[in-house]
A and B are shown apart, each in its own frame.
Chain A
Amino acid sequence: SAVISQKPSRDICQRGTSLTIQCQVDSQVTMMFWYRQQPGQSLTLIATANQGSEATYESGFVIDKFPISRPNLTFSTLTVSNMSPEDSSIYLCSVKGLAGGIRTDTQYFGPGTRLTVL
């Protein structure tokens, strides 16, 4: 399995500002994803982070609001732009498949970033 770290672990932000969340993996992985988990809810996929190209967004999520970067096989960022209180949530990075390894369906998750927007 891969060890995933996220920064920051939590933040409190003002309405209208932006926050960039970093996800670092200790080994090269083929796929990286970003999820949102609103209070008391399950996980909702925001997008798949693609190395060297634009992320693939799920219905209801757009690049202008959630720009994503993935410059290499171990790192990705998610920015939450022009925040509103409705963006208060836990944002989770997830990875699947060790690069060069056997294909696996199992996904692993980072510890999450707890965002509160005032």
Chain B
Amino acid sequence: TQLLEQSPQFLSIQEGENLTVYCNSSSVFSSLQWYRQEPGEGPVLLVTVVTGGEVKKLKRLTFQFGDARKDSSLHITAAQPGDTGLYLCAGSAMNRDDKIIFGKGTRLHILP
């Protein structure tokens, strides 16, 4: 069974601080997605990373896919209260299966 381990599970920091969320697995993924979910809404796609070593930036968010395509990280610079939410990583397996698997999520709370 493929698993995606996310850490930390919970994070509460002050506005303006930096943070990194990690997503790790022993399995190789063809791609990995990061989603953000706010209360009462469905997950919203932030980014898809496909190539090992790939780095993508979305304003203050930087996403990296590990060289071996087994892990990924999300770094937020100068966090703002609007960044508060549940961050989910999800991976697409290397086999023919079209399903993606989700990590347990990181619940982030930015204090003003």
Which residue of chain B has the shortest Cβ distance to A48 in the bound complex? B99
Complex: chain B residue closest to A114, CB-CB: B40
Contact B40 A43 (CB under 8 A): no
A105-B92, A111-B41 known; A96-B98 Cβ under 8 A: yes
Identify the closest chain A residue to B4 (Cβ): A42
- Report yes or no: B105 in contact with A109, Cβ–Cβ below 8 A: no
Q: Which of B63-105 contact A (CB under 8 A)?
A: 88, 90, 92, 98-100, 102-105
- With a cutoff of 8 Å between Cβ atoms, the chain B residues found around residue A107 in the complex are 33, 45, 90, 100
CA distance A4 to B98 in the complex (A): 19
Given A41-B104, A42-B88, A42-B105, verify A109-B99 contact (CB < 8 Å): no
Which of chain B's residues has its CB closest to A1's CB? Answer: B45
Residues 39-53 of A contacting B (Cβ, < 8 Å):
40-43, 45, 48
A108 close to B45 (CB less than 8 A) = yes
Query: Is A31 engaged at the interface, CB distance under 8 Å to the other chain?
Result: yes
What is the size, in residues, of chain A's interface with B at 8 Å between Cβ atoms? 22
- Is A83 interfacial (CB-CB < 8 Å)? no
CB-defined contacts of B44 to chain A, threshold 8 Å? 109
A106 to B48 CA separation, bound complex (whole angstroms): 7
Chain B residues proximal to chain A, CB less than 8 Å: 30-31, 33, 35, 40-45, 48, 50, 88, 90, 92, 98-100, 102-105, 107
